[in-house]
Chains A and B, each alone.
Chain A
């Protein structure tokens, strides 16, 4: 009886399990579909869905399902989907994460489609090569960008500031912040406190003539680099001419909460492709500036692929996915819909086609891009595994300095040590 009982029990359970599994299998879709997942903002999402509509119009029978989310949650969701072998067919990739994802085997190379279904023959070779890992193309460049300080032109004019924001120096910057703060009676500070910004720290280190990592993944930035960087901002913080600490220690706020958009400060830091998105959130006209350089030294900034589109390991319909990719960078209507929101396209044809229809903000973005061409340095080497965690460590250490929990010198020494530790552990 017991034997029978157990067997029947298992049978019942098995049947029940089977029934529940069967019911969850979705009705088989008759049409071809591709999933495209990107991190976005309202402006980008609008443009991307417009591009999707165009593709669906041109390719009857292929449905594109677009999924979008903010930058920070994007990578969490991506990690989960990667683990669950449920990645979208096409994903937006970042230079920072490209190598990690390739080395983990989550992406597929595009080389076999190039020249057949993916036409990139006339693209600028430099920016295109930015998507290569170990000699194979894993990321299709869908726009280039560079670090940018976005400033409020109205506030600058009201305060009588006429600085050359491309050629200004580290010494000019605090003076200008001071001027803005006093011109507005302290209601608006000169700048956001960028001591927690990894991007600006990296520029600072490069201005000092070093890269953050060398080719073997050794941290080559020195404690002195980091200390001087934090000291620079600490002095301005003490003078009360940059955003207060409670604004600074909020990590990764959405665009809408940055100082320039809320009106708390006149200068915030972004990537140049974000200019269009920022302007969409603001009434005052904005301008683009380089990060102030060290007198007589290099500017430290660089132009990098802003975003890639990558084909994932979990892709179902490769042909449809590649067709979509190809339209993205080559179809004139699509490139026009996308504009410069993701950065400067690396197809000369797309750039030329965009010219007549550029908005004023986009023209500014292009002008900024042209102005920095001769001043930027080399693209840094691909970052080692664990670099993402080093970024987090940096913002965390920087906020401890901002909160006066630790002196810049001590924090800098510890940061460099811990950063190397993280890289070694990730190997």
Chain B
């Protein structure tokens, strides 16, 4: 007992903020939402058990659910590769051993820190509005741009561009990955007269695979969870014409606009399953394309 106190108690004490937060604010609500997903719950009167009804309704009758899935999948399919490509490009540019590298890293990382903020989303809405800055620049070149945000054909792309712009955190990880590739490989390739592109595809990409994999998984999860930017830019309801009806925005509306907390909880659990499935697929596929340097064949 005495030994426990002297040895472990300080550890738990320091952990306690996290532990309390985890049990009270994370695990508790997660379990509660699982229960709510089987109920009809309007947040004011007590929840009523309805079995699988929420899930059945979702898959058989709810057109907006499918619309939300469609929007979210399109976004993930576009935004994740775009952001990763952007991050890798910038990382490779920064990997040239510049003296002011720290400064550039900070500058390029800045958008990701700002990216999830409300102010940026509002700024984005202004930029891509019919009379916004983007069209002002385009009109300088004689192009009459559409109203990007309020045109359902283009609204999603404005968010993809926003996602691309927030490449900072995968970029930092790529940069670290690039640093760990042994220089002598490139030197050997150089001596053999290998082209830059071949060096990239034969040395950089394979050796970076674990890092790419890590970023891919993280960014995919992140993209599925996109909320605040979509919420702000779509005025909170997926407008125009549901073209920005992200899954999370739909979930939020079901819960807080239409008082269907039970249904919203069910939506949340389906999202969890979707994300888990995608992560699972990524892990299963990884053994075919991700090789670790220290592994023996």
CB distance from B267 to the nearest CB of A (A): 15
Considering only CB atoms, which chain B residue lies closest to A392 in the complex?
Answer: B237
- Check if A20 sits within 8 Å of B20, measured CB to CB: yes
- Check if B1 sits within 8 Å of A8, measured CB to CB: yes
- Check if B241 sits within 8 Å of A13, measured CB to CB: no
A4: chain B residues at CB < 8 Å are 1, 4
Which of B1, B8, B45, B240 contacts A399 (CB under 8 A)? B240
User: Which residues of chain A (1-34) have a CB below 8 Å from chain B?
Assistant: 4-5, 8-9, 12-13, 16-17, 20
- Check if B237 sits within 8 Å of A104, measured CB to CB: no
User: Which residues of chain A (126-171) have a CB below 8 Å from chain B?
Assistant: none
> Which of B11-19, B68-76, B78-86, B280-288 participates in binding chain A?
B11-19
CB distance from B204 to the nearest CB of A (A): 44
- Check if A79 sits within 8 Å of B43, measured CB to CB: yes
Question: Once the chains are docked, how many angstroms separate the CA of A245 from the CA of B261?
Answer: 34
- Check if B45 sits within 8 Å of A396, measured CB to CB: no
- Asked whether any CB of chain A lies closer than 8 Å to the CB of B130, the reply is yes
CB distance from B125 to the nearest CB of A (A): 10
Question: Once the chains are docked, how many angstroms separate the CA of A199 from the CA of B258?
Answer: 19
Mask: chain B, 117-154; 1 = CB below 8 Å from A; 0 = not: 00000000000001000000000000000110011100
CB distance from A21 to the nearest CB of B (A): 9
- Check if A83 sits within 8 Å of B4, measured CB to CB: no
Mask: chain B, 257-280; 1 = CB below 8 Å from A; 0 = not: 111010000000000000000000
B239: chain A residues at CB < 8 Å are 249-251, 396, 399
- Check if B241 sits within 8 Å of A104, measured CB to CB: no
Mask: chain B, 214-250; 1 = CB below 8 Å from A; 0 = not: 0000000000000000000001111111100000000
Question: Once the chains are docked, how many angstroms separate the CA of A394 from the CA of B243?
Answer: 16
A83: chain B residues at CB < 8 Å are 43-44, 261
CB distance from B286 to the nearest CB of A (A): 37
Given contacts A75-B257, A79-B43, A392-B257, contact A249 B150 (CB under 8 A): yes
Question: Once the chains are docked, how many angstroms separate the CA of A20 from the CA of B25?
Answer: 13
- Asked whether any CB of chain B lies closer than 8 Å to the CB of A82, the reply is yes
B44: chain A residues at CB < 8 Å are 82-83, 101, 104-106
CB distance from B245 to the nearest CB of A (A): 9
CB distance from A144 to the nearest CB of B (A): 27
- Check if B150 sits within 8 Å of A76, measured CB to CB: no
- Asked whether any CB of chain B lies closer than 8 Å to the CB of A352, the reply is no
CB distance from A200 to the nearest CB of B (A): 18
Interface-central residue, A106, A247, A403, by most chain B CB under 10 Å: A403
Given contacts A246-B147, A399-B239, A400-B241, contact A104 B42 (CB under 8 A): yes
CB distance from A76 to the nearest CB of B (A): 5
User: Which residues of chain B (39-75) have a CB below 8 Å from chain A?
Assistant: 42-45
- Asked whether any CB of chain A lies closer than 8 Å to the CB of B197, the reply is no
Question: Once the chains are docked, how many angstroms separate the CA of A79 from the CA of B16?
Answer: 32
- Asked whether any CB of chain B lies closer than 8 Å to the CB of A405, the reply is yes
- Asked whether any CB of chain B lies closer than 8 Å to the CB of A124, the reply is no
Question: Once the chains are docked, how many angstroms separate the CA of A100 from the CA of B12?
Answer: 47
- Asked whether any CB of chain A lies closer than 8 Å to the CB of B9, the reply is yes
Considering only CB atoms, which chain A residue lies closest to B147 in the complex?
Answer: A246
- Check if B152 sits within 8 Å of A5, measured CB to CB: no
Which of A12, A82, A250, A388 contacts B257 (CB under 8 A)? A388
- Asked whether any CB of chain A lies closer than 8 Å to the CB of B256, the reply is yes
CB distance from A77 to the nearest CB of B (A): 9
- Asked whether any CB of chain A lies closer than 8 Å to the CB of B5, the reply is yes
B258: chain A residues at CB < 8 Å are 386, 388-389
- Asked whether any CB of chain B lies closer than 8 Å to the CB of A72, the reply is yes
A72: chain B residues at CB < 8 Å are 235-236
User: Can you list 16 A-B contacts (CB < 8 A)?
Assistant: A8-B9, A13-B20, A83-B261, A245-B150, A246-B147, A246-B150, A249-B241, A250-B150, A250-B239, A251-B235, A389-B258, A392-B237, A392-B257, A396-B239, A399-B240, A405-B152
Known: A80-B256, A101-B44. 12 other contacts (CB 8 A): A75-B257, A76-B257, A100-B259, A104-B259, A105-B44, A246-B146, A250-B150, A251-B235, A399-B239, A399-B241, A403-B152, A403-B240
> Which 3 residue pairs are nearest across A and B when measured between Cβ atoms?
A246-B147, A83-B43, A104-B44
Residues of A within 8 A of B (CB): 4-5, 8-9, 12-13, 16-17, 20, 72, 75-76, 79-80, 82-83, 100-101, 104-106, 244-247, 249-253, 386, 388-389, 392, 396, 399-400, 403, 405
